[in-house]
Structure 1
Amino acid sequence: MKPLEDVRIISLEQYGAGPFGSLHLADLGADVIKIEDPNVGGDVGRYVPPFNEGEDSLFFETFNRNKRSLSLDLSTPAGRSVFEDLVKSSDAVYSNLRGDVPAKIGITYDDLKHLNPAIVCCSLTGFGMTGPRAKEPGYDYILQGLAGWMSVTGDPDGPPTKSGLSLVDYSGGFVAAISLLSGLHAARRDGVGGDCDVSLYDTAMSLLTYPATWHLNAGFEPVRTKNSAHPSLVPFQAFEATDGWLIVGCAKEKFWERLVVAIGRPDLGADPRFASFSLRGQNKDVLLPMLEDVFATDTVAHWLSLLGPAGVPSGPINDVAHALTEPHTLARNLIVETEHPVYDTVRQLASPVNFGPQRPEYRRAPQRGENLEEIVADLGYDEETIASLRRSGAFGEVTAEAHA
């Protein structure tokens, strides 16, 4: 069996953060039933440009493979009844909505425990379900600013800068997945579920890690550094070569000792001004220009051919195209394929989450409502019940055909 093959998750998810978190659970075998609101055309991620056609987008494919879709209107009594039947036979209800919405639409543990005492209700929200910002929508860009990330990102002479990727969203998805799995473990052990109140804000703040500890305890003031330099380890940063950039990192004294020999500058290793982490930090304005001058004399490939064999942590600064064709990317089977009726073959990145030798199987993201028949069959509904639910608007707009 796949690691999570015996787990069923009802997911009221949208866009990036929530679907990213459940993606890894689906890849591990969990049955993720994606509830999509027919009143708004389902998950807004279906319509993200520039690579979109109708209700299909490559953005949506990225976050929703291996899931099933049920178009369900929870605002109708009929839709709510289907949802509650799903809760009875599921392990978790997962969502990424505004902080006040889970309680409003009745998907918290207190709302659902009478149906299933062991249900785990994991809510990934922008700011959490408590606090002064609970009712505010939370987006990655805003959170990177609020949590101080942008103040320490970018060139010292440039404006505050966000990460090139939506790392608050993606990290929040991972945190939600860990929280949900923790809740499932406790529920299966104790027979009692509960709420996971997870937020993007909490995630972003927690990722301030040691600079926050330094500030809280020693008054450290983080600043943006030239060439993405580490705040305390010198040298550990980007250096420009004649044809591009590379990263060189001396996180241990032995790496510094190896570096100066590899680049033909043993005199720097013998210089008392650079004899320790502390001294190199104090004299970085002297040392770093010297190193920059050295690296500016040859190509990235030349320096890596010297640093790698010498055991100095280093690597090229790839663009996305090079990263996707990096030999290690291919060796780790990180590019996976799914067949798709609109895009033919969709190539995307595998989940980094793994357990055991079994490789995940990959199925394209579902069309909206594609899995209705099989999901309601699992609930034991007969044809008459399904027809009645259709007429009642459980699955979306009631058509003349549905009334027939």
Structure 2
Amino acid sequence: MTESNEAATMTEKALPLAGTRIIAVEQYGAGPFGSMLLADLGAEVIKVENPADGGDVGRVIGPHFFSDGDSHFFQAFNRNKQSITINLKDAEGKKLFHRLVASADAVMDNMRGDQPERLGVDYASLKDVNPKIVCAHLSAYGRTGPRKSWPGYDYLMQAEAGYLAVTGEPGGPPARFGLSIVDMMTGLMSAFALSSALNGARRTGIGCDIDTSLFDTALHNLNYLAVWYLNAGHNQSRDPRSAHPSLTPSQLYRTADGWIFIMCNKEKFWRPLVSKIGKPEWGDDPRFCDFEARLENRALLTDLFDEVFLTKTTAQWLELLSGEVPVAPVNDIESALENPYVRQSDLIGSFERENGEAPFEMLASPLKVDGRPLPRKAAPSLGAHTDLLLEELGYDEKEVVSLRSRGII
């Protein structure tokens, strides 16, 4: 075990969500991402997977797999969890699920909006089993309204919520984020909602349903652009060089060997920037004296900055500006992960696997507790904890064999 993993293991009992049991009826991306954040912080997250269809579809998403057939994609969304197989459509499976819920604090799902009630994972179906249970639902379009039965995915939300219209260069085709940002933001929103509802349930002894959806979260993230439109009628479009819509200089500039991103988002950075690049006279130039003037003259300023930045490489400019002015290189995925700062900050960890396969590397949680990294356990194999959990719930060996033979677990 690495030194960082030892440090993480030492903190498990003292983690903020230690002693919290969450049953996660989930698959693919958004739901698993949210429950993974809760598992990182010490919650016992028990992932419920259907034995009839091979469990979470993420287990077979390629194109990259470990030597035992385990999906890289699945590992990225399911660290620090347990796995139990239960067929929730079977009456016996539902009884088993209820016994599990009776021992839990929360149930989390990311089904289509009409499914939680149908499968009996909402508060109305579970309150007699456990009155304090919190049921957190993450769906595409919510559990009410005309779209509740619609399937939906991240890129669709980006398209409909306006993201593609503000991403990329003017005149080019619509462009989505390069990452499934709506999935991850909605997973985080669901985890935040569940944690908040748990606090209320522990105070009152009464649980609840709490909902979010991919669409609602995507729309909510329009934030200030929405306020601008709703109150000033401003319909934001794409600006050249990935520029900030109102702050300048806050965009891409050309260097001798590529690009650099400058974000002079406070006035206090303007004079240090122009001084560092050898143009201190621009600090008092009336064309550039404040945000309003620079925005009005952004095209001119872009040309002038390009002339300056083209005289040095990105690395040379970073050495000159870093720590004084907000600046960053434009990396590809390889360069981003090979950045020495990433290793220095312990943001990549070694994850031990329960099946005896060799450890592998993966991004670690960005959170720390008391300065220590969080646990780093690889995602579980399908049903890895089924027998252990059934034993805890009072099932004997004969009952477990019977349940397995009938495809209930």
Query: Retained in 1: the 8 A contact 2:352–2:376?
Result: no
Which residue of the partner structure matches residue 164 of structure 1? 178
- Using the size of structure 1 for normalisation, the TM-score is 0.94
Q: Does 1:175 align with 2:207?
A: no
Query: Retained in 1: the 8 A contact 2:16–2:42?
Result: yes
Query: Retained in 2: the 8 A contact 1:99–1:128?
Result: yes
Which residue of the partner structure matches residue 401 of structure 1? none
Query: Retained in 2: the 8 A contact 1:79–1:393?
Result: no
Which residue of the partner structure matches residue 89 of structure 2? 75
State the alpha-carbon separation in 1 of the partners of residues 266 and 367 from structure 2: 29
Q: CA deviation at 1:356?
A: 2.5
Q: Does 1:152 align with 2:166?
A: yes
Which residue of the partner structure matches residue 7 of structure 1? 20
Q: SS at 2:359's partner residue?
A: strand
Which residue of the partner structure matches residue 402 of structure 1? none
Query: Retained in 1: the 8 A contact 2:52–2:407?
Result: no
Question: Equivalent residues in 2 for 1:131-142 (5 A)?
Answer: 131-142=145-156
State the alpha-carbon separation in 2 of the partners of residues 394 and 92 from structure 1: 22
Q: SS at 2:303's partner residue?
A: helix
Point out the more displaced range, 299-308 or 200-209.
299-308
Q: Does 1:124 align with 2:118?
A: no
Q: SS at 1:344's partner residue?
A: coil
State the alpha-carbon separation in 1 of the partners of residues 197 and 370 from structure 2: 22
- The AA in structure 1 aligned to 2:157 is L
Question: Equivalent residues in 2 for 1:190-201 (5 A)?
Answer: 190-201=204-215
Q: Does 1:326 align with 2:339?
A: yes
Query: Retained in 2: the 8 A contact 1:155–1:227?
Result: yes
Q: 1:204 to 1:148 in 2, by over 3 A?
A: same
Q: Does 1:336 align with 2:349?
A: yes
Which residue of the partner structure matches residue 365 of structure 1? 379
Which residue of the partner structure matches residue 61 of structure 1? 75
CA deviation map 1:254-308 (0-9, x unaligned): 2111111111112322221111111111111222111112112210112122222
CA deviation map 1:314-350 (0-9, x unaligned): 1111221222122321122111112344862221011
Which residue of the partner structure matches residue 235 of structure 2? 221
Q: CA deviation at 1:199?
A: 0.6
Q: SS at 2:352's partner residue?
A: strand
Query: Retained in 2: the 8 A contact 1:119–1:193?
Result: yes
Query: Retained in 2: the 8 A contact 1:78–1:393?
Result: no
State the alpha-carbon separation in 1 of the partners of residues 213 and 69 from structure 2: 28
From 250, 263, 269, give the equivalent of 2:264.
Answer: 250
Q: CA deviation at 1:7?
A: 0.6
Query: Retained in 1: the 8 A contact 2:287–2:294?
Result: yes
CA deviation map 1:9-44 (0-9, x unaligned): 111110111111111111111111111112211000
State the alpha-carbon separation in 1 of the partners of residues 371 and 320 from structure 2: 36
State the alpha-carbon separation in 2 of the partners of residues 31 and 378 from structure 1: 14
Q: CA deviation at 1:8?
A: 0.6
Q: Does 1:209 align with 2:218?
A: no
- Using the size of structure 2 for normalisation, the TM-score is 0.93
From 378, 381, 393, give the equivalent of 2:395.
Answer: 381
CA deviation map 1:137-184 (0-9, x unaligned): 120110000110111000112111000110000001100100010111
Q: SS at 1:42's partner residue?
A: coil
Q: SS at 2:403's partner residue?
A: helix
Query: Retained in 2: the 8 A contact 1:78–1:392?
Result: no
State the 4+ residue runs in structure 1 displaced beyond 4 angstroms. none
Which residue of the partner structure matches residue 240 of structure 1? 254
State the alpha-carbon separation in 2 of the partners of residues 103 and 111 from structure 1: 7
State the Cα RMSD in Å: 1.5
Which residue of the partner structure matches residue 263 of structure 1? 277
Of all paired residues, the percent bearing the same amino acid is 47
State the alpha-carbon separation in 1 of the partners of residues 371 and 242 from structure 2: 37
User: Matched residue pairs, number?
Assistant: 394
From 326, 331, 354, give the equivalent of 2:368.
Answer: 354
State the alpha-carbon separation in 1 of the partners of residues 372 and 356 from structure 2: 29
State the alpha-carbon separation in 1 of the partners of residues 57 and 398 from structure 2: 32
Point out the more displaced range, 380-389 or 123-132.
380-389
Q: SS at 1:52's partner residue?
A: coil
Q: SS at 1:306's partner residue?
A: helix
Which residue of the partner structure matches residue 47 of structure 1? 60
Which residue of the partner structure matches residue 113 of structure 2? 99
Q: Does 1:273 align with 2:251?
A: no
